[in-house]
Amino acid sequence: MSSLDTLEMEGLRGIGRAELEFSPGWNVFSGRNGVGKTTCLEAIHLLHAGKGLRAGRNVDLIQWGGESALIRGRISGEGGVETVVVVKSREGTVIRVDGRPVHAASDLARRLPLVLIGQEGLELLYGGPEGRRRYLDRIMFHVEQQEFLAAWQAYQLILKHRNALLQQAAPDKELLHWDSELVAMGESLHGFRVAALSRLVEALKGLKQTLDFLEIQVGYDPGWRGGTLSEAIQSARRVDRGQRYTHVGPHRGDLVIEMDGHLVKAVLSRGEIKRLTVALLLAQREICQGQGGALPLLLLDDLAAELDCEAFAAVMSVVAGQGGQIVMTSTRFVGEEGIAYPQGARMFHVEHGTVRAMP
pLDDT at 214: 79
- Contacts of residue 291, Cβ cutoff 8 Å, sequence gap at least 6: 143, 199
pLDDT at 292: 58
Domains and CATH numbers, the chain: 1-113+294-359 (3.40.50.300), 127-292 (1.20.1050.90)
Closest among 288, 283, 162, 149 to 233, alpha carbons compared: 162
CA angle 33, 320, 359 (to 5 degrees): 55
pLDDT at 356: 93
Burial of 155 (0-12, 13-18, 19+ CB in 10 A): buried
- 158 to 49, 104, 184, 188, 192: CA distances (angstroms): 24, 19, 10, 13, 18
Residue 81 and residue 75 in contact, taking contact as beta carbons nearer than 8 Å: yes
- Contacts of residue 165, Cβ cutoff 8 Å, sequence gap at least 6: 174, 175, 178
Question: What's this model's pTM, rounded to 2 decimal places?
Answer: 0.92
pLDDT at 138: 93
Q: DSSP secondary-structure letter at 91?
A: T
Residue 28 and residue 346 in contact, taking contact as beta carbons nearer than 8 Å: yes
> Which backbone phi and psi does 6 adopt, to 5 degrees?
-135, 155
Q: pLDDT truncated to tens, each residue of the chain (359 aa)?
A: 789 999 999 999 989 899 999 999 999 999 998 899 999 999 999 999 999 988 789 999 999 889 999 999 999 988 899 999 999 999 999 999 999 999 888 899 989 999 999 877 778 999 999 999 999 999 999 888 889 999 999 999 999 999 999 999 999 999 999 999 999 999 999 999 999 999 999 999 999 888 888 789 999 999 999 899 999 999 999 999 999 999 999 999 999 999 999 999 999 998 899 999 999 999 999 998 765 567 899 999 988 888 888 888 899 999 999 999 999 998 875 555 555 677 789 999 999 889 999 88
| Alpha carbons 308 and 318: distance in angstroms, whole number | 16
Burial of 279 (0-12, 13-18, 19+ CB in 10 A): buried
CA-based end-to-end distance of the chain: 27
**Helix (H, G, I), strand (E, B), or coil: what is residue 217?**
strand
Return the amino acid letter for 97: V
Residue 245 and residue 166 in contact, taking contact as beta carbons nearer than 8 Å: yes
Residue 144 and residue 192 in contact, taking contact as beta carbons nearer than 8 Å: yes
| Alpha carbons 326 and 73: distance in angstroms, whole number | 16
pLDDT at 151: 96
- 343 to 234, 284, 317, 340, 347: CA distances (angstroms): 60, 25, 13, 8, 11
Q: DSSP secondary-structure letter at 202?
A: H
